[in-house]
Structure 1
Amino acid sequence: MEHRKGFVFGQYLPPDLSPFDKLFEIFTELITHTSGDFDEAISWLRELDEEYQLTTEDYTIDDFIEDLKAKGYIREEIRPDGSDGMGITAKTERNIRQQALKQIFGNLKKSGSGNHKTKYTGSGEEQTGELREYRFGDALDRISLTESLKNAQINNGSDEFRLTEDDLVVEDAQYKAQMSTVLMIDISHSMILYGEDRITPAKKVAMALAELITTRYPKDTLDILVFGDDAWPVSIAELPYLQVGPYHTNTVAGLQLAMDLLRRKRNTNKQIFMITDGKPSCVRERDGTYYKNSFGLDEYIVEQCYLHARQARKLHIPITTFMIAQDPYLQQFVERFTEANQGKAFYTGLKGLGEMIFEDYETNRKKRLK
């Protein structure tokens, strides 16, 4: 009887999750959408439960809340108005970042050394398996003793052992680059206009990128800033709570702060990622006043953007712009901005934004930015 190898396909069975785990995955998603508002997230969860029967008589939303308390995901706190309420803990914030990383970048695991390799070889940290002749300045621990002794016997004979510099070979290694990245997030009012929530995907990308760098590339650095009428840095812990404000788009302020942050970094490889959906519409003058124009690509404002793009280029800081709106009249500005910096631009919607940023980050880490 002939036996053949092959595959047997069956019906997909989802993982058997506990009632808590099923609700917790939804809860963390809702917390991100509500910018950390626990009461609003639970209210949405109750509405979803009524519609989709997420719970049973044996395990209710109230049971879930008690488990959140017991497991340390939420805590009692006093609100700004003086009333009592519940808020999420650092444990929940960390779990939200991990879930964002899993959703956007896949289940990436921490590497052993926490660095990236480049295509350049030399006195790096990771062996390539390739041998070359010894050169002055090579570390002694790079010398391959077995191969060097074999060369000595071949070159000098076995009657009288003699090892010379010409016999020495070393195992080549790869340089490991470190990257300093600033992620700029637009929080102007247009990020929630026209019934489309653009800020939540931007936050999730930032949280996923932060989790990626801290777990897989801990020697890299990531600074995050937001820009509206002005620009200011935010910590990783603040990301779930970011909200859009009644702001114009001061791209210049964001670029100025990003370059200031990168000037302080010792890494030679530096880059700026900018997530925005709208045209620059605001600059701050030297006297502290604001010049604003919401009705078009104001020549004065966009020229300030081009100027800072060229300054970043002189500092060897490439800027990658992720334009999450696809208005044709904005493309000319983005193209000129990108040309001034010699950077890159992606015209993308919200779908696939995270994967695109991840791929670009990985690509940039594999080359030396000069």
Structure 2
Amino acid sequence: MTGTWRYGRWHEGPDPLAPPLGLREALDELGRDVMDGASPRSALEELLRRGTPGTTGLDELTRQLWQRRAKLQRENNLDGTLNEVRELLERALDAERRALFPDPSDDARFAEARLDALPSSTAGAVNELAEYPWRSEQAREDYQRIRDLLGEQLMQSRFEGMKDALGQVGKADVDAMAGMLEDLNELLAAHARGEDTSERFAEFMAKHGQYFPENPENTEELVDALAARSAAVQRMMNSMSAEQRAELADLSAQAFGDSRIGQGLSTMDGLLRTLRPGEDWDSAARMRGDNPLGLAEGAQAMQELGQLDALAEQLSQSYPGARLEDIDLEALAAQLGEEAAVSARRLAELERELHRGGLFERAEDGTLRLSPKALRRLGAVALRDVLGSLRAGRGERDTTRAGAAGEPTGSSRPWRFGDTESWDVARTVRNAVLRSAETGASGVRLDVRDVEVIETEKRERAAVALCVDTSWSMVAEGRWLPMKRTALALHQLITTRYRTDELALIGFGRHANTLELGELVALEGTWEQGTNLHHALLLAGRHFQRNPDANPVLLVVTDGEPTAHLEPDGAAEFSYPPDPRTLALTVSEVDSLARLGTSTSIFRLGEDPRLTEFVDLLARRANGRVVAPDLDGLGAAVVADYLRGRRT
């Protein structure tokens, strides 16, 4: 069969060609931040702010928004309408004076005197000329253009679709707009009183719908649209000087030469402010550029600034209940382009998938923490890095010998005197058949030479105590994260490859505590004096006693000599320099563990002479050893030592 495939434009749904979200890489970054002391919640927020390869983070998107906002303010000013009115007024006055100059009559001189006596303010002069009998046709047209300009700018600043509705404005058009404002204010007043305005809204839209191309479905939607524009106009007025605001207020009376327009708009603004008090009516934005904007353009610029502010708040995710799904992707694309919207969408998907994938869970106190699944992933990465740095290869810790108590290896060998392993029956019979055929004997007779036994390997079981220093010096010297990655790697190795071993993670600062892996990973560094190795060794001894059939293995990671010990009443006694009693109790506990046959390794971080001397003493008494790795090699040193100890 043959067929044809037709490919069309993709319209909606997940983009089939979008790159993968990179959950593994994201989790690795989260894990690093969490182990460095950040909470899972703050680590996730930091990841979203920073972004991922190929995806712009929230911080960069916010920076671009503020850059665009600063550009709007830096390049524009709000003098456009006033400047244009001044230019039209000056042109009208010049034309009128040229028309009066040749006339020798007293009326002409009186008219010139009237023009010379006009108020210095633009608004006062325009209002004073409302009833002036113009002799120049050009002057009359320029003056009428002032009125039309004011009306157009005022209407366009409040009604988004008014620019298309306004053409050559005549008296009938002005009457229609005045009637629309009157009907609109009655509708808004009724809605403010809580009346049902469904029928009145339908009648209003049927009569005046040409002014509202956005086609609101009900009064609420109409109020939303109008309030946003009205608030933008108010913010624009707030951004002007007091003189500019006063001039515009006075000039509004001359809109289309009909005071009903300015009065109607003022009433509408008051009603909208009552209905939508949550809109931003009081802020201001300084516009200091050279590009003059008219009232309509200024209102649009203020709306754009408001949209930029709203997007910045959405991207900040700092308000209660914030979600990345709250980001207005359409508005973001309009401001910064489609790539910005794609990045925001992918960050929202990443956050959603991290939660959906079971990588986070809620603790009993309501806080967010990494799930066991996430910890296993982090452990796998840590172990992979550690094994990759072991130049001597993976290293196996199994001791292999034939023994009845071992586990089958999958192979067999000839029986030797004293062997108690199970017979490999299939191979034994096969050997007998082949030998009988070679000798020509009738039938098959079993001989001791035919017997093969199943080869087994003995796997020793270990109880491992990893004691890690959690004092403040580990944080201050940059050893906090390597310590946690070491614990992760060892935990992953034991729980996935040597599951019969028992691992205890013990952190010791002023006190010592046995920690679950998640607790250690999320542990934050705290300013606390004391390195209580004595308490940690006590807990390690209890771990060994709970596993009497296992070989005890002690691994200690520390960067300081003991400065605290545990008193019989459970209190931690701190002293620096170390008290002789602290040192004596610590050494005594090491001796106790040595009597259990404990394999001891101490990983010394730093070059402190007193620490070096003390850990050398402990190693000699415990018949153990001291390793002094650099920070990058700490994990490899601990894992290699564990494998080496179990191999021997």
TM over 0.5: yes
- The yes-or-no answer on 1:243 pairing with 2:524 is yes
| Structure 2 stretches lacking a partner, 5+ long | 1-17, 61-338, 391-395
Write the letter of the residue equivalent to 1:251. L
Aligned twin of 1:32: 35
What does the per-residue CA deviation read over 1:202-260, in whole Å, with 9 as the maximum and x for residues that have no partner?
11111121111111122222111111222221112323212233140111111111011
CA drift of 1:301 comes to 1.9
Contact 1:185 1:276 in 2 (8 A): yes
Aligned twin of 1:59: 343
Distance 1:141 1:171, change over 3 A: closer
- The RMSD of aligned alpha carbons is 3.5
What does the per-residue CA deviation read over 1:118-162, in whole Å, with 9 as the maximum and x for residues that have no partner?
0443332225655341426333348950586379759x9936865
**Pairing of 1:267-282 with structure 2 (within 5 A):** 267-282=549-564
1:313 partner SS? helix
Aligned twin of 1:307: 588
Aligned twin of 2:381: 99
Measure, in 2, the Cα distance between the counterparts of 1:270 and 1:78.
34
Aligned twin of 1:339: 620
- The yes-or-no answer on 1:198 pairing with 2:198 is no
Contact 1:132 1:171 in 2 (8 A): no
CA drift of 1:104 comes to 2.6
Distance 1:263 1:24, change over 3 A: closer
Write the letter of the residue equivalent to 1:34. G
- The yes-or-no answer on 1:131 pairing with 2:420 is no
Contact 1:187 1:247 in 2 (8 A): no
Contact 1:132 1:172 in 2 (8 A): no
Contact 1:31 1:41 in 2 (8 A): no
CA drift of 1:335 comes to 0.7
Measure, in 2, the Cα distance between the counterparts of 1:221 and 1:24.
27
Measure, in 1, the Cα distance between the counterparts of 2:568 and 2:443.
80
Distance 1:92 1:159, change over 3 A: closer
Measure, in 2, the Cα distance between the counterparts of 1:152 and 1:135.
24
Write the letter of the residue equivalent to 2:422. A
Measure, in 2, the Cα distance between the counterparts of 1:263 and 1:78.
31
Write the letter of the residue equivalent to 1:272. L
- Single out whichever of 238-247 and 16-25 deviates more from structure 2: 16-25
| Aligned sequence identity (%) | 23
CA drift of 1:48 comes to 6.8
CA drift of 1:166 comes to 6.6
Count residues with an aligned counterpart: 337
CA drift of 1:323 comes to 1.1
**Pairing of 1:1-370 with structure 2 (within 5 A):** 18-21=20-23, 22-43=25-46, 46-47=49-50, 57=340, 58-60=342-344, 62-63=347-348, 64-74=350-360, 87-106=369-388, 117-123=398-404, 124-125=406-407, 126=409, 130-135=413-418, 137-141=420-424, 144-145=427-428, 149=432, 158=441, 162-163=445-446, 165=448, 168-170=451-453, 172-193=455-476, 196-245=477-526, 246-296=528-578, 298-367=579-648
Distance 1:143 1:181, change over 3 A: farther
Write the letter of the residue equivalent to 1:25. D
1:177 partner SS? coil
What does the per-residue CA deviation read over 1:249-295, in whole Å, with 9 as the maximum and x for residues that have no partner?
11111111101111111433220111111110011222444432222
Contact 2:552 2:596 in 1 (8 A): no
Measure, in 2, the Cα distance between the counterparts of 1:142 and 1:355.
44
Which protein has the bigger helix share?
Answer: 2
Distance 1:341 1:86, change over 3 A: closer
CA drift of 1:20 comes to 3.5
Contact 1:101 1:107 in 2 (8 A): no
Which structure has the higher relative contact order (CA within 8 Å, separation 6+)?
Answer: 1
Measure, in 2, the Cα distance between the counterparts of 1:97 and 1:151.
52
| Structure 1 stretches lacking a partner, 5+ long | 1-15, 109-114
- Single out whichever of 248-257 and 299-308 deviates more from structure 2: 299-308
What does the per-residue CA deviation read over 1:82-135, in whole Å, with 9 as the maximum and x for residues that have no partner?
xxx755444333332233223333499xxxxxx952044333222565534142
Give 1 or 2 for the bigger CA radius of gyration.
2
Query: TM-score, normalized by length of structure 2?
Result: 0.46
Contact 2:510 2:564 in 1 (8 A): yes
